[in-house]
């Protein structure tokens, strides 16, 4: 869902993750190949675009340390929101809990 005049941004690795994740479920029985193809087509046609920030790696590590996360996977999302001074929209409760401590996270229902 997008709002008029809005854009969606994702860390460069997250757009790739979206594509990669869509490939695996059909062979696990979680989604049909036809549904996967539709999702990948929609991702390709969406207004989500990749954006790199020169401080992304440093900010990711800082946030992971600050939140006590052993891995930086979730911190990449939070770091991008921090660097872009925007909100992180997520349904992931664990991610929301950490990012919310930094005042960065909202759920789609809060938009």
pTM: 0.61
CA angle centred on 100, ends 5 and 47, rounded to 5°: 25
Q: Which of 74, 70, 72 is nearest to 99 (CA)?
A: 74
Tell me the per-residue pLDDT of 1-58, one tens digit each, with 9 for 90 and over: 344 455 555 555 554 455 445 555 556 666 788 887 887 788 778 776 676 789 999 9
Q: What are phi and psi of 11, to 5 degrees?
A: -60, 145
Q: Which two tokens stand for residue 107?
A: 């759920």
- In the prediction, which pLDDT does 60 show? 93
Could you state, in order of their start, the residue ranges of all structural domains in the chain?
Answer: 9-49, 53-111
In terms of Cβ atoms closer than 10 Å to its own Cβ (0-12, 13-18, 19+), residue 64 is: buried
Between 74 and 36, name the one with better pLDDT: 74
| Cβ count within 10 A of residue 12 | 15
């Amino acid at each position: 869902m997008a709002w008029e005049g809005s854009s969606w941004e994702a860390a460069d690795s997250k757009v790739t993750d979206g594509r990669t994740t869509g490939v695996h479920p059909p062979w696990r029985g979680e989604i049909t190949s036809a549904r996967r193809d539709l999702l990948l087509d929609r991702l390709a046609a969406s207004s989500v675009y990749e954006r790199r920030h020169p401080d992304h790696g440093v900010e990711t590590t800082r946030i992971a340390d600050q939140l006590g996360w052993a891995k930086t996977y979730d911190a990449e999302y939070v770091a991008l929101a921090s660097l872009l001074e925007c909100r992180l929209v997520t349904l992931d409760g664990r991610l929301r809990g950490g990012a919310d401590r930094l005042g960065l996270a909202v759920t789609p229902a809060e938009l």
